[in-house]
Structure 1
């Protein structure tokens, strides 16, 4: 036990000397550039890049109508199924017509009576005026006859109005579609009592061709949007959520007249014909507003940029395989790309990863792309023959 401690100390010293020797040797090799740093390399390209603003939006029906009853009565029949597409003027509901038909018949009968009385009063007035010419009738008799005739004529007009109102009520018992559209959930059924003052509609009808896509963008883009709308139409690319979603393009047709002060955004609206019903009212969509393009821009992958307090730079890989930092002016960036205003030419190679390990003159080697997962998995799971 007395010799155990010295042995341990000797072992520790030996390991420490080996570690120091290995570290010094590694730093010596790195200093001489013997071990190139593996990096991914991309080539700067010259191409046209669209100027885009991404936003979240929602789909609105171009028209929404609450179908309501205009008279009180029992629903006797529903002439459609929930979700049906209906045409303007198509019969949707029938309300019990019996009380309104009876009122119409009474109004028409009263009108006939008033017309007969009015005709009699007219004849009496003409007779009184003729007798006055002969000096037989007095002025008082003539005035009374003329007043009775005028009153009877007014009664006829009142009867006509009452008959027209009763006829209108009968027509209101047939509730038709006010426009082309798709019906929603049925909210009343045969036997329900409906009234013109009901808060709940009978059914909601929505026009889904065309549809509107509403979305908002930051107010910083307002001047560009106004300028573009004055010259040529803006286009929005719209992608619904969910699997197998189809991206469509729709022209921007509306710009709100005020900026939302609470969010600092301006609302826009695009109109889409929606003939195949790709978009559904109320659904959320991803919107990309296309505001022109930068033609002939020098483009590199966005990860190639290294930002610092002194500015933005990229590591250009020379023909000798060494990295050289170069300041660049970035016009703008997208999700995956960086547009270079100046400082880099098309065709030059830049490093896109491992930037923190690079210095001026660092020797680099292009890293091999990762093997496909499917291929490696297939080779690993390959069964031996005979099993």
Structure 2
């Protein structure tokens, strides 16, 4: 009978497991270091030298000479040149509404009719009263003339003449009063025909025919707004005041109403005035501009961006704004010479707009400035240019 085998002591298996774990850790560390070196350290020195032998790839464009417009931008609200709430000035029944909502109307067009019968009756009464006054006055004047004749003959006394003269004066005053009442009745009657006081466009009708209306009503019949021309009230910084005043002194200041994203021009107009005070709470000033708006591209209440042309810099040297870099000593650009060597140029920039920047000093006309790839450049770096041609948006490769 075979004796059972004794199990191997635990202490004899432990070194084998530890050895395997140690080898696994070593392989992991070596592989990780290799991967890290490949990803973050980059290619070997020989590979780097090979890649840089053709120059650092960059995009360049020539500095241009052009007339550069200078604008001020502000947020504005479109307002109708005139807005009139059409209300009744007399009480009565609204008999007729003679306009259509959204209709264009001219000054003097009949919009609505209030029942005129009570006011016509009042006018007729005033006319009749005047006729009575004229008859009484004529009789009083006849009696006055008669008394004056008798007084000269000694038949009548001076006191009688004076009393008759006073009666005539009272009749004349009554006639004048009734004539004024007749004029008031005529005016009230005219108010029963409600006419448009301006050229404009009607809005939503507030009340229908058949309703009773009163001069004290808070709600009118309709609102008429004049939209041709139209105005825009916009706000600018108080620091822009001097530029605005200088532009107005030179003559007409052109403005453009732009869409909210500044991508579309809605209308062209002119600057009308600068408000007479600055808002101390916000540090802004208000300006008013007018637009012909014949195509009605602007609508009352609409928010627009206002672009005001305050000056034009003649023959300015400009570069794409992407070429501008900012360092500890100020702004600079990279300029590439005929040998494809990049050099740093300190510049003094002027206004920047529409992706272009004015360069007051530091760059000359036709200097080739770098617009892309600057982060890999240093002074004296050899580059491989992709030359951008602004006029045609074409590119030309230069080896």
Normalised by the shorter chain, which TM-score bucket?
A: 0.7 to 0.9
Secondary structure of 2:118's counterpart equals helix
The answer as to 2:356 corresponding to 1:337 is yes
Q: Which residue of 1 aligns with 2:223?
A: 204
Q: Which residue of 2 aligns with 1:361?
A: 380
User: Which of the residues 44, 60, 69 maps onto 2:63?
Assistant: 44
User: Which of the residues 86, 93, 96 maps onto 1:67?
Assistant: 86
User: Which of the residues 2, 19, 26 maps onto 2:44?
Assistant: 26
Q: Which runs of 5+ in 2 are unaligned?
A: 1-15, 389-399
Q: Which residue of 2 aligns with 1:4?
A: 20
CA contact (8 A) 1:240 1:283 kept: no
Question: Structure 1 residue 189: deviation in Å?
Answer: 1.3
Secondary structure of 2:230's counterpart equals strand
Question: Relative to structure 1, is the Cα distance of residues 201 and 13 closer, same or farther in structure 2, using a 3 angstrom cutoff?
Answer: closer
TM-score for the superposition, normalised by structure 1: 0.87
Aligned alpha-carbon RMSD (Å): 2.6
Q: Which runs of 5+ in 1 are unaligned?
A: 370-387
Q: Which residue of 2 aligns with 1:125?
A: 144
Secondary structure of 2:163's counterpart equals helix
List aligned pairs for 1:179-328, cutoff 5 A.
179-240=198-259, 247-328=266-347
Distance of 1:170 and 1:21 partners within structure 2: 98
Distance of 1:312 and 1:113 partners within structure 2: 95
Q: Which residue of 1 aligns with 2:102?
A: 83
Distance of 2:79 and 2:73 partners within structure 1: 19
1:120-168 per-position Cα deviation (integer Å, ceiling 9, x unaligned): 1111111111111110112222222111121112211122111221122
Question: Relative to structure 1, is the Cα distance of residues 90 and 244 closer, same or farther in structure 2, using a 3 angstrom cutoff?
Answer: farther
Distance of 1:315 and 1:29 partners within structure 2: 26
Question: Relative to structure 1, is the Cα distance of residues 268 and 168 closer, same or farther in structure 2, using a 3 angstrom cutoff?
Answer: same
Question: Structure 1 residue 234: deviation in Å?
Answer: 0.9
Secondary structure of 2:99's counterpart equals coil
Question: Structure 1 residue 20: deviation in Å?
Answer: 4.5
Q: Which residue of 1 aligns with 2:163?
A: 144
Distance of 1:234 and 1:46 partners within structure 2: 24
Matched pairs, number: 369
When Rg is computed on C-alpha atoms for both structures, the one with the higher figure is 2
Question: Relative to structure 1, is the Cα distance of residues 355 and 26 closer, same or farther in structure 2, using a 3 angstrom cutoff?
Answer: farther
CA contact (8 A) 1:29 1:35 kept: no
Question: Structure 1 residue 313: deviation in Å?
Answer: 1.1
